[in-house]
Amino acid sequence: MPLNRRVLLLFAPILTLVGFLGFLVPAEAALTSGAAPYNLFHIGFGLLGVGCLVSRRLAVIRAFNIGFGLIDVYQAVAGLLGLWPQSIFLWTRVDDGLHWVVGASLIGVGLLADRERPPRMTTLSNAA
């Protein structure tokens, strides 16, 4: 099974679960933001990730991993600089750290794993 698929098979349900748990865990007990828009963001993208898995198309799965990784890195920068949507997602420093780690990991897997390799060149002596 391609690594991108394995990663998304693990990540999409976790992303969805984090969104639902954000509504259930009291704010004072949470290390991360429990803002409703942020929870809905997690649920929506988690379900989108599941949809990408259902497509069984590696290019779609890789695109999700790279795209969501870029969104996560942006969220880390936005959290540090107070950029949109910080005011509605209400990220914590734990969220910022998770965004750096998850974002960089997804981008790395998406870009580096499961790439098509060009065919090997053979010489005449090898072909004989």
pLDDT tens-place string over residues 80-124: 999 999 999 999 999 999 999 999 999 999 999 998 776 677 666
Instruction: Round to whole Å and give the CA distance between 64 and 45.
Output: 9
pTM of the model: 0.88
Give the rounded distance of the alpha carbon of 71 from its chain centre.
8
**Residue 125 covered by a domain:** no
pLDDT tens-place string over residues 13-41: 999 999 999 999 998 899 999 999 999 99
**Residue 109 covered by a domain:** yes
**Residue 126 covered by a domain:** no
**Residue 48 covered by a domain:** yes
**Residue 91 covered by a domain:** yes
By mean pLDDT, which of 4-8, 58-62, 110-114, 115-119 is the weakest? 115-119
Instruction: Round to whole Å and give the CA distance between 18 and 64.
Output: 18
Residue 14: count other Cβ atoms within 10 Å of its Cβ.
Answer: 13
Question: Does the pLDDT at position 127 exceed 60?
Answer: no
Domains of the chain: total: 1
Q: Using DSSP, how many helices (H) and how many strands (E) does the chain show?
A: 6, 0
For the stretch 113-117, contacts whose Cβ atoms lie closer than 8 Å and that sit 24 or more positions apart, written own/partner, are: 113/2, 113/3, 113/4, 113/7, 114/2, 114/3, 114/4, 114/5, 114/58, 114/62
- Structural domain for 34, as ranges: 3-114
- The torsion angles phi and psi of 76, rounded to 5 degrees, stand at -65, -45
Residue 115 tokens read as 């790439």
